[in-house]
Structure 1
Amino acid sequence: MRRNNLIGILLLFLFCSCTGDKKANTESKTEKESNTVQNDLVQLTAEQFKNAGIQTGVAVQKEMNATLNVNGLTEAPPENVFSITVPLGGFIKKTNLIPGMMVRKGSVLASMEDQKYILLQQDYLAAKNKLKFAEADYARQKGLNLTKATSDKIFQQTESEFNQQKILLSSLAEQLRLIGLNPAALSDKNISRTIQIYAPIDAYVTKVNVNSGKYVNPADVLFELINPRKLHLSLTVLENDASRLKEGQKIICYSNKDPEKKYHATIHLITPNIEDDRSTSVHCDLENSGRELLPGTYMNATIKLENATVTALPEEALVKWEGKFYVFTDQGQYRYKMINVQPGVSTAGFTEIKSALPEKSIVLKNAYALLMKMKNGGE
């Protein structure tokens, strides 16, 4: 009997011990989860609130000479990009171009050869000789017609053949000019199977699509050239900010490679269309771009907005933590929630707030006291 009572007491002790450990673990886990979920909240007592000197209020609308920070890419305007083609096609005889090379206007990009070039020159010289005969026959028939020694019909036929031959010769001459041959200098002694392709401008070679021995068709692009001296700047601007811009506005921009080097630009065109990401493109003329800027360079830009009405808070309302800016909103019962904001320019003790703010009172003074309490557990 006594032995049975002892066993019962031991079992009851073990049960209570297990139950207590389980309850302690549950409470610890709950407390940990609560801290994880509410790590952006801070709770004060009435005494702590009084000692911290916290003041709350709402954001105000102020007129500021604000700035807008955006980014984009440099690009060459269409009139400075050249795609080199050959109207008659042919075989590439020789080219020494590689991407990145600088070429001068009038320099040889490639030489080509084909039987079509020979036939075109042959047709031109034959048409030229026929025109001489047609012209002489026309003059003869015109004289005979004046004396009525020949009929009007024969004279009209001769005149028509003479005019048709002139049209044919003019057409063939233009075809020769298309492939870079001068019809005035062509004779039976200098017929060539080779033509030269010349650079139309001073430019950089950005694409080379051919090699020696390759046959190209009239629609094929052999090379692409870009003149980088007149670059444009294409900026990406959000929908809400685009309405604050206008053509002729001045911009200061710089590249990541050399932030100290400042470039000036002027807004040339604002695209009247909003993309799916709620942004639009703003095209600007670069005023002092040099050869160090190439098409496709990533650029940062600052745009001055004159007398813009913006949402602003006192500078004391913002706190900085780990490289980001925050404000505290009043949740009631001495509880405050920290939210991330994007600041703009600061003027006369106020800072522009670019991000949307919740419709709650905001801590305007001594916000750093809340940050210290939250991060360090200070009183």
Structure 2
Amino acid sequence: MKKLIFIIILGVVAACSNSETTDPNAETKVLNSVTLNDAQFESAKIATGKLEEKLISSTIKVNGKIDVPPQNLVSVSVPLGGYLESTKLLPGMHLNKGEVIAVLQDQQYIQLQQDYLITKSKLELAELDFKRQKDLNQSKASSDKSFQQARSEYQSMKITLSALAEKLRLININPNTLNENNLSKNIRLTAPFDGFVSKVNFNIGKYVNPTDVLFELVDPRDIHLNLKVFEKDLIQLTVGQKLYAYSNSQPDKKFKCEIILISQDITSDRTAEVHCHFEKYDKTLLPGMYMNAEIELKNLLSLAVEEKSVVNFEGANYLFIKTAKNTFEMREVKLGNSENGWVEVVNKEKFNNQQIVTDGAYALLMTLKNESEE
């Protein structure tokens, strides 16, 4: 029995020993340094250099929304109230200047036209009487009082007719073409410019007062982009600077803009408004639409390396540094902006005065990976 227990214990110890030597979860040390023999060094065609100062333009990404200055947002009302008989407008609809946007009707429109035509007829009679009284007065055939009354009546009629004509023009009726054969109970409102509809506030059949706003129209000739830019970036922006804006739904469709105003008012979140003008209007640009923008800043002198010096391994970027003869160490690098084959090194303090591999970095990475796997 004792002999059997001893054999079992011996077997357990042996099993534990084998488990320790074949554990698949044991960590493998990742190498970050590689040494080449002379033949490998010659084959890899290694060349080294240092960080170099290069002028690299940088780009900041900001966001904002399309806005309309007050003078380009027009509220449409009617000077004389009436019932809305018809309209085809919908928010977002595009309009052409002179296009009929609404038809209203009311009996006061007929009354105004009637008053104008009657006054016009009376004015003709008053003018004839005035001329007759003038001739009679000059020949002493009538009194001065009669002449003065005729002149006063004639002038009053002229004033009344002129006032009625202006009222007709307010409701888009041309007094010069109005006659007894073309009186209408309807008036037509037309678009004052090429633009689009922002709001529609009334439905057909509803009475519209002179103080009511029927529609809100947007004149797109001066819509602009209102961007939020952080305080630290404002110093690098200037009026007249160009940028490109795009929407989330169409990121590949870029709209060229120009900075027209930089606000000096810093908000609590340390941003300021930067107003930009679209160089070319597009019908898809609507007030309130959120936009992204890329602003290219001035060229800045930065410490940089050639892009071919950088290798990517497991999602991170690295540079190889020469630490001894044929020996190279892989160090992680933080990259900034790039231009013309050069890329800015953000954590430059790790690479100052170091011999950086400029040619053959990929060959070193392959050698390092092979050694790590062995």
TM-score range, shorter chain: 0.5 to 0.7
Kept in 1: contact 2:77–2:211 (CA 8 A)? yes
The one of 114, 120, 139 equivalent to 2:112 is: 120
Give CA-to-partner distance per residue, 1:170-225, whole Å, 9 cap, x none. Answer: 11111111112121222233322222222223333332211121111111111223
Distance of 1:191 and 1:210 partners within structure 2: 26
State yes or no: 1:303 paired with 2:309.
no
Q: 1:290 aligns with which of 282, 293, 300?
A: 282
Letter in 2 for 1:292: T
Distance 1:213 1:288 in 2: 39
Question: Post-superposition shift, 1:90?
Answer: 1.1
| Change in 2 beyond 3 A, CA 1:242/1:158 | farther
Q: Write out per-residue CA displacement over residues 87-116 of structure 1, whole angstroms, 9 at most, x where no aligned residue.
A: 111111223333333343333322211122
Of residues 194, 207, 218, the one that matches 2:199 is 207
Partners of 1:287 and 1:170 in 2: CA distance: 45
Cα contact 1:67–1:344 (8 A) shared by 2: no
Query: What is the DSSP-based 3-state SS (H/G/I as helix, E as strand, rest coil) of the residue aligned with 1:126?
Result: helix
Counterparts of 1:180 and 1:94 in 2: how far apart (Å)? 16
CA distance in 1, matches of 2:74, 2:316: 46
Q: In the TM superposition, what are the counterparts of 1:42-61 in structure 2 within 5 Å?
A: none
Alignment partner of 2:224 out of 219, 232, 244: 232
Match of 1:67 in 2: 59
User: Which of 179, 194, 198 lines up with 2:186 in the alignment?
Assistant: 194
What is the rounded CA distance, in whole Å, between the counterparts of 1:349 and 1:203 in structure 2? 45
1:223 paired to 2:215: yes
Aligned to 2:233: 241
Q: Work out the CA distance in 1 between the residues paired with 2:180 and 2:84.
A: 25
1:108 counterpart letter in structure 2: V
1: CA distance between counterparts of 2:59 and 2:214? 45
Does the residue aligned with 1:266 lie in a helix, a strand or coil? strand
Question: Residues 302, 344 of structure 1: CA spacing in aligned structure 2 closer, same or farther, 3 A cutoff?
Answer: farther
Unaligned runs of 5+ in 1: 1-50, 52-60, 326-341, 354-360, 367-379
Compute the displacement of 1:153 (Å). 4.7
Query: Which residue of structure 1 lines up, in the alignment, with residue 164 of structure 2?
Result: 172
Name the % identity. 49
- Select 1:148's aligned residue among 140, 147, 150: 140
Structure 2 contact 335–344 (Cα < 8 Å) conserved: no
- Tell me the CA shift for residue 131 of structure 1: 1.1
8 A contact 1:229–1:291 mirrored in 2: no
The residue that corresponds to 1:132 in the other structure is 124
Deviation at 1:146, TM superposition (A): 2.4
CA distance in 2, matches of 1:79, 1:301: 25
- Range with bigger deviation, 247-256 or 99-108: 99-108
CA contact (8 A) 1:314 1:364 kept: no
Question: After TM superposition, which residue ranges in structure 1, 4 or more long, deviate above 6 angstroms?
Answer: 312-315, 322-325
TM superposition shift of 1:270? 2.1
CA change 1:178–1:156 in 2 (3 A) is same
* Counterparts of residues 309-324 of structure 1 (less than 5 Å): none
The CA distance in 2 between the partners of 1:160 and 1:308, in whole Å, is 81
Q: In structure 2, do the counterparts of structure 1 residues 308 and 141 end up closer, same or farther at CA, with 3 Å as the change threshold?
A: farther
Q: How many angstroms apart in 2 are the aligned matches of 1:196 and 1:349?
A: 63
- Asked if the contact 1:75–1:296 (Cα under 8 Å) also holds between the matched residues in 2, the reply is yes
Counterparts in 2 of 1:343 and 1:298: CA distance versus 1, 3 Å: farther
Unaligned runs of 5+ in 2: 1-32, 34-52, 306-311, 318-333, 355-374
Aligned to 2:252: 260
Count of aligned positions = 283
Q: Distance in 1 between matches of 2:335 and 2:71?
A: 40
Please say if 1:91 is aligned against 2:83.
yes
TM-score (norm 1): 0.63
Write the deviation string for residues 217-265 of structure 1: whole angstroms up to 9, x where unpaired.
Answer: 1111112233546542111122333233221111122222222222211
SS at match of 2:169: helix
Cα drift, residue 122 of structure 1: 1.9
Q: How far does residue 323 in structure 1 lie from its aligned partner after superposition?
A: 9.7
Is the CA contact (8 Å cut-off) linking 2:197 and 2:216 kept in structure 1?
Answer: yes
Decide which moves more: 79-88 or 131-140: 79-88
Aligned partners of 1:229 and 1:290 also within 8 Å: no
